[in-house]
Amino acid sequence: MSTPSTRPSLRLSTDAWAILLAAALGLIIRFGLLKNIAW
């Protein structure tokens, strides 16, 4: 019999992770927490 995992799981698709990452960066930039990103 298999034992249910007790590890917290946040298994999202790569698309969802990419959207979350971009949203977080967008908010950080929008509220001025990070400015002047050089390239």
The nearest distance, CB 1 to another protein, in angstroms, is: 23
Shorter beta-carbon distance to another protein: residue 1 or 33 = 33
CA 6 vs CA 1, 9, 11: distances in Å: 15, 9, 14
What residues line the site for another protein (CB under 8 A)?
Answer: 7-19, 21-23, 25-26, 29-30, 34-39
**Residue with tokens 């930039």, as numbered in its chain:** 29
**Residue with tokens 């298994």, as numbered in its chain:** 11
Q: From CA 18, how far away is CA 35, in angstroms rounded?
A: 21
Shorter beta-carbon distance to another protein: residue 1 or 39 = 39
Shorter beta-carbon distance to another protein: residue 1 or 7 = 7
